Amino acid sequence: MKQFSCPVEIDSNQIITLAHGSGGRLTRQLIEDVIKPALANVRLDPLEDAAILQQFEQTAVMTTDSYVISPIQFPGGDIGKLAICGTVNDLAMMGATPLYLSLGFILEEGLHIAELAAVVQSISQTAQAAGVAIVTGDTKVVEKGKGDKIFINTSGIGARENTCKIGTAEIRSGDKVIVSGDIGRHGVAVMAARDPQAFDTPVISDIACLNHVVTALIEEGIAIHCMRDLTRGGLATACIELAQSSALQFDLGETTIPVEEAVQSVCDVLGLDPLYIANEGRFVLIIPETCVERALAVFARFDNCKAAKVIGEVTEDKPGWATLRNAYGVSRKLDLLAGDQLPRIC
Amino acid sequence: MKYVDEFRDAAAVRHAIDTIAGIATRPWNIMEICGGQTHSIMRHGLHELLPDNIHLLHGPGCPVCVTPAEKIDQAIAIAMQENTVLCSYGDMLRVPGNNRSLLDCKALGADVRVIYSPTEAVDIALSEPEKQIILFAIGFETTAPGNAAAIRKAKLQQVENFSALVCQVTVPAAIDALLGNNDFEIDGFLAAGHVCTIMGFHQYYHLAEKYQVPIVITGFEPLDILAGIEKCVLQLESGQHSVENAYARYVTEQGNQPAQDLLQEVFQLDDQTWRGIGVMPNSGLSLNKSYRYFDAEQRFSTVLGDLDLSMSKPVNEACQSGLVLQGKIKPDECPLFGKQCRPDKPLGATMVSSEGACAAYYRYAAS
């Protein structure tokens, strides 16, 4: 595959102005100089009002998501990588192969064009690694103070086998719950990036596109009942949602859930629960017990999934509940949080 | 994780539970003072593992919970002024005053910032000299030295655009008030280990003697809490009532002298209103004369004088958070618990903070 690069030297003093969003000459120049060279492909290049896609023989799957992270750079990634991984992962979780993405920028006046170029470069690399093409896009500029540097929306289209039924309706009592790696890294890395003076941690975001590992699981013939990527509300929120959608119980074992020591330390100091901390490259896989061994063997082939573990099972006992059994055998109900977790006073 | 895992070890916890079950021959009411301990007890399910005759009562030691609604109203009134920055610990933000919370006020455009350390507020004041920076200085003796250090730093560096809205509370006064209340029996106390790390435990001797109760300095990990309970039960079973230290890896009898000196320099004892309980004499700290320049209540007296409390929401009379704070009832014995009153729409002090007893019961409800 062709290695994308940004051929135009960016003047480090150049900033985004309202004129870049006017639809006129500067808009065109921004697209031609900064965005298009990095993302070039046959469907994007004509820069028509809409992209022409192939006719699907398989079932088309579509999703959309918006990205508003601050700061736009964090250990392990940036808003560009996030905008690709997030949408690719939503498609992958439905068993679809991600194919095409749209890319909508809302830029704040005063943003350095070099910062935008770095984000576009990151988008290019992440999309290339995931095997998806950016086929259409849009750029708007808002006045200074009306945005936060860069907001991105990506919509994605993928294709999945017509017979594929992956989804919450397929979850069965007796299924096993596997998490694809250790949890909580993304949230802690972003928190540290937001306030580098307040605490220093070596934690790097888990951000990653998950479509390749999902494809490998499907190719291995694993009978996938359901998948869910762990995003804002963390592992706990994902399992609560799955329990409610399936009207079954998700019974998790606290000691089996992988949490890196550095993440656990930050959580203990600030009074946060890693179960509710954001991830951007982790998912739970719900499969029949008979497939567990083969699934773990597939995970072991992927660097970011080597810590994958069975963390619980699905039962009929308490429909709609996610529960957590601790090291002492005490089980408690997991509940949705009222809002973001906030650092504790003492 | 070193220094943590060994205090959460499952076999050791089971052994400690068996030991307590073996020595407790009668029912005992033991109160843990601190919200952090309540949280740990609920999170680890220790209350379910303990024998039925050990009743854990949850005390008033949640600083966010006991901060009066009026103080939050003051913080909001100040934060809503142009060119002010209100700096607060994170978990204070969601707590409603009489009308709104600091989170609401942030959504309305106020500059409210979460800090991890009080001195950050002074640094903000130095870097943004055109604004007034206010530290919301709340908490028990645990956070008081940090707040005092920030205020002293402001004085030393003559940071004139810095002030502190102070609402500091003290533990011994709370124990005294609870035990002085004759209509309820608390057999023993688990004192808060981190408060004693600062203050030592010499100040508990006269309380143990006056009310004839054992007071055991206790930590926060499961084995720390069980060690505190075990020492307390041993004393109760043998009719003793002394002050004992079950958190010796951090706490000494005299505590942290430099921190105490700092408190002495900046603060003075004062009467204090506790949310859900009322005014308790000498149960708080206020800025002393030489630091009063940094008192946000004085600096913003014009704004606070205009504070309209007429919009105050009537307190739901069925809310029993005051009784919960005093350990007179368990959170789930309140008729509103989990129904009208939940973490997303708290009615009482003990549901407002994640560390409050009601919030801990709600979050860690057994399945």
What spatial distance separates the first Cα and last Cα of chain A, rounded to whole Å? 53
* Residue B367 C-alpha, separation from nearest chain A C-alpha, in angstroms: 5
Decide if pLDDT at A88 tops 50.
yes
Q: What is the mean pLDDT of residues B240-258?
A: 97
As a whole number of angstroms, the distance between CA B241 and CA B232 comes to: 9
- Nearest residue of chain B to residue A198 (CA atoms): B116
Chain B positions touching A264 (Cβ under 8 A) are 1, 4
As a whole number of angstroms, the distance between CA A42 and CA B60 comes to: 67
Q: Answer left, alpha or beta for residue B218, where phi above 0 means left and psi between -120 and 50 means alpha.
A: beta
Give me the sheet containing B243-245, strands edge to edge: B54-61, B28-34, B188-192, B215-218, B243-245
| Nearest residue to B192 (alpha-carbon basis) of B221, B224, B219 | B219
Report all structural domains of chain B as residue ranges with CATH numbers, in order of start.
Answer: 5-62+180-245 (3.40.50.11750), 65-170+255-305 (3.40.50.11740), 321-362 (no CATH)
A284 φ, ψ (degrees, to nearest 5): -105, 140
- Specify the pLDDT at position A11: 66
Q: What is the mean pLDDT of residues B246-267?
A: 97
Neighbours of A117 (CB within 10 A): 21
* Residue A75 C-alpha, separation from nearest chain B C-alpha, in angstroms: 20
Query: Hey, are the CB atoms on A271 and B354 less than 8 Å from each other?
Result: yes
Looking at chain B, the whole-number percentage of residues with pLDDT higher than 70 is 97
B147 close to A (CB below 8 A): no
- Nearest residue of chain A to residue B49 (CA atoms): A330
Domain A168-334 has CATH 3.90.650.10: yes
- Specify the pLDDT at position A204: 96
Exposure of A292 in the CB half-sphere (CA atoms within 13 A): 15
Candidates A276, A328, A335, A336: best to mutate against B (most CBs of B within 10 A) is A328
* Residue A308 C-alpha, separation from nearest chain B C-alpha, in angstroms: 20
Query: Hey, are the CB atoms on A198 and B117 less than 8 Å from each other?
Result: yes
- Nearest residue of chain A to residue B39 (CA atoms): A271
Decide if pLDDT at A324 tops 90.
yes
Candidates B123, B140, B367: best to mutate against A (most CBs of A within 10 A) is B367
As a whole number of angstroms, the distance between CA B353 and CA A344 comes to: 9
As a whole number of angstroms, the distance between CA A26 and CA A18 comes to: 9
- Specify the pLDDT at position B323: 87
Query: Hey, are the CB atoms on B89 and A344 less than 8 Å from each other?
Result: yes
* Residue A98 C-alpha, separation from nearest chain B C-alpha, in angstroms: 37
Query: Hey, are the CB atoms on B64 and A345 less than 8 Å from each other?
Result: yes
Decide if pLDDT at A8 tops 80.
no
Give me the sheet containing A331-334, strands edge to edge: A226-229, A283-287, A176-179, A309-315, A249-253, A322-325, A331-334
> What band does A9 get if pLDDT is binned at 50, 70 and 90?
low
Bond prior to A202 in cis (omega within 30° of 0): no
In this structure, what DSSP letter does residue A15 have?
Answer: B
How many Cβ contacts (< 8 angstroms) between chains A and B? 95
- Nearest residue of chain A to residue B14 (CA atoms): A328
> What band does B319 get if pLDDT is binned at 50, 70 and 90?
confident
B270 close to A (CB below 8 A): no
Query: Hey, are the CB atoms on B114 and A343 less than 8 Å from each other?
Result: yes
| Nearest residue to B263 (alpha-carbon basis) of B273, B271, B255 | B255
Closest CB to A332 among B116, B354, B364 = B364
> What band does B366 get if pLDDT is binned at 50, 70 and 90?
low
Q: Is the ipTM of this complex over 0.90?
A: no
> What band does A290 get if pLDDT is binned at 50, 70 and 90?
very high
As a whole number of angstroms, the distance between CA A25 and CA A22 comes to: 8
As a whole number of angstroms, the distance between CA B326 and CA B60 comes to: 6
As a whole number of angstroms, the distance between CA B92 and CA B187 comes to: 32
Six token digits for residue B94: 């969601």
Query: Hey, are the CB atoms on A343 and B116 less than 8 Å from each other?
Result: yes
As a whole number of angstroms, the distance between CA A31 and CA B200 comes to: 66
B364 close to A (CB below 8 A): yes
B3 φ, ψ (degrees, to nearest 5): 70, 0
- Specify the pLDDT at position A199: 74
CATH number of the domain located at residue range(s) A18-160 in this protein: 3.30.1330.10
* Residue A194 C-alpha, separation from nearest chain B C-alpha, in angstroms: 11
As a whole number of angstroms, the distance between CA A318 and CA A262 comes to: 34
Ranges B45-59, B290-304, B335-349: which has the least confidence:
B335-349
B359 φ, ψ (degrees, to nearest 5): -65, -40
Six token digits for residue A23: 């639809």
* Residue B309 C-alpha, separation from nearest chain A C-alpha, in angstroms: 27
* Residue B97 C-alpha, separation from nearest chain A C-alpha, in angstroms: 17
* Residue B6 C-alpha, separation from nearest chain A C-alpha, in angstroms: 13
| Nearest residue to B363 (alpha-carbon basis) of B327, B331, B323 | B331
Question: DSSP 3-state assignment of A53?
Answer: coil
Six token digits for residue A3: 């290695």
- Specify the pLDDT at position A198: 72
As a whole number of angstroms, the distance between CA B176 and CA B207 comes to: 7
Query: Hey, are the CB atoms on A339 and B94 less than 8 Å from each other?
Result: yes
Q: Average model confidence (pLDDT) for chain B?
A: 92
pTM of the model: 0.90
B107 close to A (CB below 8 A): no
How do residues B180-218 score in pLDDT, each as one tens digit?
A: 876 768 999 999 999 999 999 999 999 999 999 999 999
The enclosing H or E element of A269 equals helix A261-270
Chain position carrying tokens 């290019």: A124
Q: What is the mean pLDDT of residues B299-307?
A: 89
Decide if pLDDT at A5 tops 60.
no
- Nearest residue of chain B to residue A197 (CA atoms): B120
How do residues B3-49 score in pLDDT, each as one tens digit?
A: 788 999 999 999 999 999 999 999 999 999 999 999 999 999 999 99
Query: Hey, are the CB atoms on B90 and A332 less than 8 Å from each other?
Result: no
Six token digits for residue B70: 């009026």
As a whole number of angstroms, the distance between CA A7 and CA A3 comes to: 12
Burial A73-99 (b: 16+ CB within 10 A, else e): bbbbbbbbbbbbbbbbbbbbbbbbbbb
- Specify the pLDDT at position A54: 82
Closest CB to B367 among A261, A318, A339 = A318
As a whole number of angstroms, the distance between CA B335 and CA B282 comes to: 33
What spatial distance separates the first Cα and last Cα of chain B, rounded to whole Å? 28
- Nearest residue of chain A to residue B43 (CA atoms): A332
Neighbours of B294 (CB within 10 A): 24
What's the longest Cα–Cα distance across chain B?
65
In this structure, what DSSP letter does residue A34 have?
Answer: I
The enclosing H or E element of A101 equals strand A97-108
As a whole number of angstroms, the distance between CA B336 and CA B319 comes to: 7
In this structure, what DSSP letter does residue A181 have?
Answer: S
Decide if pLDDT at A49 tops 60.
yes
As a whole number of angstroms, the distance between CA B353 and CA B69 comes to: 13
- Nearest residue of chain B to residue A192 (CA atoms): B116
Six token digits for residue B243: 């002050």
Q: Give residues 11 to 70 of B whose Cβ lies within 8 Å of A.
A: 13-14, 36, 44-45, 48-49, 63-64
How do residues A135-164 score in pLDDT, each as one tens digit?
A: 999 999 999 999 999 999 999 999 999 999
As a whole number of angstroms, the distance between CA B348 and CA B335 comes to: 12
Decide if pLDDT at B262 tops 50.
yes
Output the 3-class SS for chain B.
CCCCHHHCCHHHHHHHHHHHHHHCCCCEEEEEEEHHHHHHHHHHCHHHHCCCCEEEEEEEECHHHHCCHHHHHHHHHHHCCCCEEEEECHHHCCCCCCCCCHHHHHHCCCEEEECCCCHHHHHHHHHCCCCEEEEEEEECCCCHHHHHHHHHHHHHCCCCCEEEEEEEECHHHHHHHHHHCCCCCCCEEEEEHHHHHHHCCHHHHHHHHHHCCCEEEECCCHHHHHHHHHHHHHHHHCCCCCEEECCCCCCCCCCCHHHHHHHHHHEEEEEEEECCCEEEEEEEEEECHHHHHHEHHHHCHHHHHCCCCCCCCCCCCCCCHHHHHCCCCCHHHCCCECCCEECCECCCHHHHCCCCHHHHHHHCCEC
B269 close to A (CB below 8 A): no
The enclosing H or E element of A253 equals strand A249-253
The dihedral sign for the CA sequence B339, B343, B349, B354: positive
How do residues A228-250 score in pLDDT, each as one tens digit?
A: 999 999 999 999 999 999 999 99
- Specify the pLDDT at position A173: 98
Q: Answer left, alpha or beta for residue B312, where phi above 0 means left and psi between -120 and 50 means alpha.
A: beta
Decide if pLDDT at A1 tops 50.
no
- Specify the pLDDT at position B344: 83
Q: Which residues of A touch B (CB under 8 A)?
A: 195, 197-199, 261, 264-265, 268, 270-271, 318, 321, 323, 326-328, 330-333, 335, 337-339, 341-346
How do residues A24-44 score in pLDDT, each as one tens digit?
A: 899 999 999 999 999 999 999
* Residue B344 C-alpha, separation from nearest chain A C-alpha, in angstroms: 5
- Specify the pLDDT at position B95: 86
Chain A positions touching B117 (Cβ under 8 A) are 198
How do residues B117-130 score in pLDDT, each as one tens digit?
A: 999 999 999 999 99
Query: Hey, are the CB atoms on A338 and B48 less than 8 Å from each other?
Result: no
- Specify the pLDDT at position A3: 45
Query: Hey, are the CB atoms on B116 and A195 less than 8 Å from each other?
Result: yes
Domains of chain A: which residue ranges? 18-160, 168-334
- Nearest residue of chain A to residue B47 (CA atoms): A330
Closest CB to A345 among B91, B94, B120 = B91
Whether A280 contacts A231, CB under 8 Å: yes
> What band does A10 get if pLDDT is binned at 50, 70 and 90?
low
- Specify the pLDDT at position B83: 97
- Specify the pLDDT at position A269: 86
Closest CB to B93 among A199, A332, A342 = A342
Closest CB to A332 among B45, B90, B194 = B45
